[in-house]
Structure 1
Amino acid sequence: MKLCITEKPSVAKDIAAILGANVKRDGYYEGGDYKVTWTFGHLCTLKEPADYTDLWKRWSLGALPMIPKRFGIKLIADKGIERQFNVIKTLIGEADEVINCGDAGQEGELIQRWVMQKAEIHCPVRRLWISSLTDESIREGFNDLKPESDYDRLYYAGLSRAIGDWILGMNATRLYSLKYSSPGNVLSIGRVQTPTLALIVQRHHEIANFKPEDFWELKTLYREVTFNATSGRFKTEAEATEAMNKISGVPMVIKDVAEKQGKEAPPRLFDLTSLQVECNKKWGWTADDTLRLIQSLYEKKVTTYPRVDTTYLSDDIYPKIPVILKQMTPYATLTDPLLSSKIPKSKKVFDNSKVTDHHAIIPTGQSPSALIGDERKLYHLIALRFIAAFYPDCIFRATTVLGEAGGVGFKATGKVIVDPGWRNVYAGKDSNEGNDDGEQSDDRILPPFTVGESGPHEPSLLKKQTQPPKYYTEGTLLRAMESAGKTVDDEELREAMKENGIGRPSTRASIIETLFKRRYIYRERKNIMASQAGIDLVATINEELLKSAKLTGLWENKLRRIERGDFSAADFIAELKTLIGDIVINVLSDNSSRRIEVADEEPVKKKRSGSRSGDNSGEAAKKPRAPRIKKLDDIVCPACGQGHILKGRAAYGCSRFREGCTLRLDFNDYSPELTPAKLASLIKKQYK
């Protein structure tokens, strides 16, 4: 008997239908030589500290660091999970061969391997590796099953990730909670979670500390066209006024007119991150919303595997492109022009060196007629991007006109579309459709200018202010995680930096949701804001390794190298063991007595079917919460002049109360509803 183990009941049903296993049993399908069963995402997890030794049941600084001699797994405590696992274990005991049909990715490999290990498998195992759930793809996959050993490195990478998250999350959370929080409070620390929070807190400080500066822009209107001074911004009004005086009453002379033809390539196909970014920009969807919807489209067979980090297709997909386009009958008016000739094979679309486990997200060609609502919108977005990829470049003519008045140079630019090319796919839609960065170019058509012509013009001087950085949205935060905190607009550079990003495309959404759940961040319209609890936590962490986006990106790079076989999983774990040991020593040697409080968490839901492991940041749900004390960093203590004002439960006080400062401002005299500015004003009057 051959036993197939899938990751979801819906996938098991599809595979069973292909294999002729049409008899439904309790927890599996049966027919012919096959039985097909399923997991619900993670059935197993790494053991918790208390599972290893009674010494780790109680949170104690003396027990740190906690490093098990050998990491073990256990079944998640849930009756439904236990029941299905017993079905799987019984079937494995009867099987002559097991076919691992889990999701074809690192997390999917880990989920299935843990279940098979827990069930004590002894028969041979082969792997089904497919990029879509269409009947054709499933049949092709079963005709080309791979030995399990081909994916050992993928499993080692997934296991290393899970163990690394355990080592840092469990130890750092206990360490910082015991050392720096008030009794009962938990400071949640994670290998990916904390650097992500640090990015948001850093942006908060950049905005809070931003000091706007005035600048002046000199423009002039000549022949109904606005020209900008080539010198750029003026930093002082005097400089700007001097330039304005030079050109007033002096005719504009055209010095140069240059035209050149340019090309704009179609936008790249979607990977998961770019899809999440685009959906957040267009519709305000969260990363988790988009991941849930694209996973549903995959399971409904209309799009390919979604948890990918490449925007390229492999060469073997090229012969299938005409078939897919022909099957996309709702888009016939757009696909027919492509099918009338040979499909181009561009290196910007097809590149084997840029594809590892899976290619970019594309339609499968299956009919999307059953889709409604947001699923239909998402499919349409992917379909148009896919079709546009095979259209010609957009050809435009760019014009640059240089002028001069009173010795001051001016420039005007314009662009004319000569051949829309791929932009025909988006004709009549939002002008930003298909433009990945959302920027609009200067598409105005300039009138003909002649070198040497001159005439009157209307100068103007505009006073402006520099603007602070923008708060992160989920879209821009995903990009920052992808590039380890660096702002990257160039697509080629973006691709090159993906191996050093924070987290993986499949887990970034859950990391962001974890930060929301723990109330370290919150939403204000589309903006992501750092809460006081998040700000305080990042301020407390002195270990740069725990909050550095760059260094976390390097860890991610090592995990990818484990997948490729050019870095050792044992070395990765050994490095993290050394790291957590150093962190424990450094924190314990800190003699400061600072304490911070965090906001209560929302209730933690039990992990259930289809869940994906994210960042293991400790046991935050297991300890009681204490009321939060808000730290008002901007108000210096008037008594000692060194501490900052804290807002407690009944009064304001000084952050240096443990050092002996006795300042106490009762709420009877200083209302707890005062704004920080009003409180500072009252304190200043009282302590003149």
Structure 2
Amino acid sequence: MKTLILAEKPDMGKKIAQTLGQFSSKNGYLENDSYIVTWAIGHLLGLAEPEAYDDQYKRWDMQHLPIIPKTFLLEPNQKTLKQLKIIQTVAKQCSQAINCCDGAREGEYIFRLIYQYLRLTIPVRRLWISSLTPDAIRKGFKELRNGSEYNNLYMAARSRSEADWLIGMNGTRAFSTKFGGHGNVLSIGRVQTPVLAMISDRHESIDKFQPQNYFEVEAMFQQESLNYKGIWQYNEQKILDRTVTDAIARKVQSQIGTIISCVVKEINEHPPALYDLGALQSEANRRFGFSAQKTLDIAQELYEKHEAISYPRTTSNYVAEDNIPVMHYVFNQFSVTQYEDLVAGGNINLVHTKNKNLCRPDKIEDHHAIFPTGKIPSDLTKEQELLFDLICRRFLSHFYPAAQYRDHTVYTEVKDEKFKTKVKELKDIGWKIIYDKTESETKEKDDPEEIKTNFNINTDQLAFCVKAETKAKVTSPPSWYTEGTLIDSMKRAGRNITDEELREELSSLQLGTPATRANIIEKLKTQKYIYLEGKKLKATDKGKNLIAIIRGMDLHVLTSPEMTAMWEKRLNEISKGQASEEKFMVQVQQFTTKIINKVKESTGISQDSFVNSIGNCPACENGKLIESNNGYGCSRFKDGCKFTIRKIQFGKTLSIKQINELLTKGKTGELKFKSKKENASDYTARLVLKNKGTGEIGLEFSNKRKNSNTNKSPKPNRN
């Protein structure tokens, strides 16, 4: 009999087949005398919905909660059911299987669910690779491992999935039933809710921020041909009275100063670590405005379709010792590409196993850092080129020496007043030659001034204060989260835990995984908990109120990274055989029950708290106008309010701005409409709110239009 090779996706299966030899193409699989290569299409199976356990769960009812299955049922994805049946058919022709799904927790889970659901019993071996190049695949097939070695990894994946089901299904049904109202689903999730809390808290802190004016004294000093700037040092946190700084400026202006301290440090700035997925998402968002999901999708294409980079869904920034020869090979391959000049300036001997900025096997969980494979595709899209170039330049930077700086910290005293100067003197550009100056990291406001000329200050010589003046400053609010900075914060979530002892223990733990973070952000957008304004991530009223009410129920742990960080730690221990899956699931069930009990006990919370309103209802004046699929209606519709404005009026989809104009002014500005009648010209008119009780909309034409020969123009048709 033959060997079944099961890959996670079609492209991966086809690449494996191309490496192993000649295959005949069949419907949903490839076959030769030794192998049948087939594939999943992502998750072919998932945990069943509650109604699969009991028909009564079709209706969302608080009395049915919590729903805690004794055994979780699996349910095929109907969109990919055909492929699942193909796998079932070809598996009967095989005496053994090779699991070629992604070498990660979710890849293991995808294979095991298929194996379990189809009730397969054939022995399994495991392919575990970080690249889809032919050499990597051939090497992986020579080093296949027994599938049972990954049982703990599967148990961790199963525990994660079942825990998320318990929290998500029960929490979402409880909050939606109690507070959501008609059609308003309030989604709750183990990871998504703490992430929403991060965005909501940042939004609130910015809204509450009160800018404060303060003042500094900036002095310019001269010592022979050297000119340098110093900032007055004072004991108070901020000087709020300008007369104080003006007096200091007058006091030191045109006076002689002495150098009372000068500390010089030699600084070697090494290349930034190779990318893991989170760092790549953050950088691509900062440079190109890519969403986390877009970066993941492009990276996956570069890996699967183009074989241009190594496995992208990695948490590691380091490589192992056996990756060093591969990096040397890739470096040499780049000598005949657009990177040939950078290769010519690099030094292959800098990349070696003793380089701890690069080679740290102890820091690798499943896969090494992302780096190019040496293949330069010729058919990349512009966006693929941008991301690929980021990865290539970060890779090449490690073949260059550290950038060398001389860091100067100088204190100049004038009339008993001290001025501080910080200068970063560039001595050797090193790896930074790879990057254009405009591509350098964002400069922080407290960073020292960077210069390329020599800063030769003489500590024995006096300095003359050429000029001193007050500089007006304003305190800055916290920065809005972008998708990039949010990913960074999710990676550092353990540092945000309030309990000091727990924070120290869990400081390295993260919210979500490289494979899930982008999806979490997209889900928060879909649920209308957050929205994008430019690059800024902002929380909606619905999102902010949900977090406030969860905390008001004394369920703070559901909104903090603490619970998720603890769970991720436990799941990691389960994957290594260091913790019990059964004990973990008991804790999850207990917490699920606590959530349900808290929601049941809650009182005095209006359903209006969880709607994203665009304004008050002009008809009843008590309700809020909330969005539905087709339009905007009053939240008090159950009390009889009939006010509704459809999104599409006379064939035009209205914007929020135009809706607000109708509500506040009773009409919009002039808009262009397309006639639906043949050979009729387009027309211009205003939309007007004809009936404030129902939301009926009409058209208003200009006087010029009214006085023209309108019988040649079409009568507008609704929709």
Q: Is the shorter-chain TM-score for this pair beyond 0.5, marking a shared fold?
A: yes
1:87 aligns to what? 86
Which of residues 293, 317, 328 is equivalent to 1:322?
Answer: 328
1:174 aligns to what? 173
Deviations 1:159-200 (A, max 9, x none): 111111110011011111111222332211111111111111
Distance in 1 between residues matched to 2:284 and 2:444, nearest whole Å? 12
> 1:518-667 counterparts in 2 under 5 A?
518-541=527-550, 542=553, 543-596=555-608, 598=610, 647-648=616-617, 650-653=619-622
2:342 aligns to what? 334
1:229 aligns to what? 232
Distance in 1 between residues matched to 2:661 and 2:443, nearest whole Å? 50
2:281 aligns to what? 276
Distance in 2 between residues matched to 1:22 and 1:441, nearest whole Å? 62
Which of residues 307, 310, 314 is equivalent to 1:304?
Answer: 310
> How far 1:545 moved relative to its partner?
2.0
> How far 1:437 moved relative to its partner?
8.6
Counterpart contact for 2:495–2:507, Cα < 8 Å = no
> How far 1:388 moved relative to its partner?
0.9
> How far 1:495 moved relative to its partner?
13
Counterpart contact for 1:4–1:98, Cα < 8 Å = yes
Give identity over the alignment, percent.
34
Question: Over aligned residues, Cα RMSD in angstroms?
Answer: 2.8
> How far 1:144 moved relative to its partner?
0.9
1:212 aligns to what? 211
What is the one-letter code of the residue matched to 2:48?
K
Structure 1 17/516 Cα, relative in aligned 2: closer, same or farther at 3 Å? same
1:264 aligns to what? 269
Distance in 2 between residues matched to 1:654 and 1:435, nearest whole Å? 46
Distance in 2 between residues matched to 1:499 and 1:572, nearest whole Å? 20
> How far 1:672 moved relative to its partner?
8.6
Distance in 2 between residues matched to 1:160 and 1:60, nearest whole Å? 26
Distance in 1 between residues matched to 2:248 and 2:664, nearest whole Å? 49
Structure 1 408/136 Cα, relative in aligned 2: closer, same or farther at 3 Å? same
Distance in 2 between residues matched to 1:584 and 1:272, nearest whole Å? 36
Deviations 1:359-387 (A, max 9, x none): 00011112333334111221111111111
Counterpart contact for 2:127–2:140, Cα < 8 Å = yes
> How far 1:254 moved relative to its partner?
3.1
Partner SS state of residue 652, structure 1: coil
1:255 aligns to what? 260
Distance in 1 between residues matched to 2:620 and 2:351, nearest whole Å? 73
Deviations 1:108-152 (A, max 9, x none): 111111111111101101111110000000101111111111111
2:704 aligns to what? none
Bigger Cα Rg:
2
Runs of 4+ displaced beyond 6 Å: 434-440, 494-498
1:202 aligns to what? 201
Counterpart contact for 2:570–2:579, Cα < 8 Å = yes
Question: Which is worse superposed, 116-125 or 370-379?
Answer: 370-379
> How far 1:258 moved relative to its partner?
3.8
What is the one-letter code of the residue matched to 2:146?
P
Deviations 1:534-591 (A, max 9, x none): 1122222131122112322222222222212212222221111000111211221223
Distance in 1 between residues matched to 2:505 and 2:357, nearest whole Å? 14
1:109 matched to 2:108: yes
What is the one-letter code of the residue matched to 1:442?
E
What is the one-letter code of the residue matched to 2:44?
L
Counterpart contact for 1:304–1:361, Cα < 8 Å = yes
1:5 aligns to what? 6
> 1:431-446 counterparts in 2 under 5 A?
431-433=438-440, 442-444=449-451, 445=453
> How far 1:649 moved relative to its partner?
6.6
> How far 1:346 moved relative to its partner?
0.8
Counterpart contact for 1:499–1:557, Cα < 8 Å = no
TM-score, scaled relative to structure 2: 0.80
Partner SS state of residue 653, structure 1: coil
Deviations 1:338-369 (A, max 9, x none): 45646443112111110011000011112333
Distance in 2 between residues matched to 1:570 and 1:218, nearest whole Å? 64
Distance in 2 between residues matched to 1:496 and 1:438, nearest whole Å? 32
Which of residues 479, 490, 495 is equivalent to 1:481?
Answer: 490
> 1:49-448 counterparts in 2 under 5 A?
49-78=50-79, 81-223=80-222, 224-231=227-234, 233-248=238-253, 250-299=255-304, 300-329=306-335, 330=337, 331-338=339-346, 341=349, 343-344=351-352, 345-426=354-435, 429-433=436-440, 442-444=449-451, 445=453, 448=456
Partner SS state of residue 188, structure 1: coil
> How far 1:313 moved relative to its partner?
0.6
Distance in 2 between residues matched to 1:119 and 1:125, nearest whole Å? 14
Deviations 1:57-96 (A, max 9, x none): 2111111100011111111123xx1211111001112210
Structure 1 69/463 Cα, relative in aligned 2: closer, same or farther at 3 Å? same
> How far 1:598 moved relative to its partner?
4.4
Deviations 1:487-538 (A, max 9, x none): 79xxxxx999685211111110011011111211111111111112211222
Partner SS state of residue 368, structure 1: coil
Distance in 2 between residues matched to 1:405 and 1:106, nearest whole Å? 63
> How far 1:225 moved relative to its partner?
2.5
TM-score, scaled relative to structure 1: 0.84
Deviations 1:26-83 (A, max 9, x none): 11111121110111101101010000012212111111100011111111123xx121
Partner SS state of residue 227, structure 1: strand
> How far 1:255 moved relative to its partner?
2.9
Counterpart contact for 1:304–1:363, Cα < 8 Å = yes
Structure 1 455/593 Cα, relative in aligned 2: closer, same or farther at 3 Å? closer
> How far 1:414 moved relative to its partner?
2.0
Structure 1 495/486 Cα, relative in aligned 2: closer, same or farther at 3 Å? closer
Question: Which is worse superposed, 240-249 or 377-386?
Answer: 240-249
Distance in 2 between residues matched to 1:321 and 1:275, nearest whole Å? 19
> How far 1:397 moved relative to its partner?
1.6
Question: Which is worse superposed, 467-476 or 432-441?
Answer: 432-441
Distance in 2 between residues matched to 1:21 and 1:120, nearest whole Å? 30
> How far 1:446 moved relative to its partner?
6.1
> How far 1:594 moved relative to its partner?
2.8
Distance in 1 between residues matched to 2:445 and 2:433, nearest whole Å? 17
Distance in 2 between residues matched to 1:671 and 1:525, nearest whole Å? 23
1:681 aligns to what? none
Unaligned runs of 5+ in 1: 489-493, 600-627, 631-645, 656-661, 676-688
What is the one-letter code of the residue matched to 2:117?
K
Counterpart contact for 2:541–2:609, Cα < 8 Å = no
Partner SS state of residue 309, structure 1: coil
Aligned residues: 613
Question: Which is worse superposed, 276-285 or 81-90?
Answer: 81-90
Structure 1 262/189 Cα, relative in aligned 2: closer, same or farther at 3 Å? same
> How far 1:482 moved relative to its partner?
1.2
Which of residues 449, 462, 472 is equivalent to 1:463?
Answer: 472
Counterpart contact for 2:350–2:399, Cα < 8 Å = no
Structure 1 261/208 Cα, relative in aligned 2: closer, same or farther at 3 Å? same
Partner SS state of residue 470, structure 2: strand
Distance in 1 between residues matched to 2:413 and 2:508, nearest whole Å? 49
> How far 1:289 moved relative to its partner?
0.8
Distance in 2 between residues matched to 1:456 and 1:356, nearest whole Å? 57
Counterpart contact for 2:617–2:623, Cα < 8 Å = no
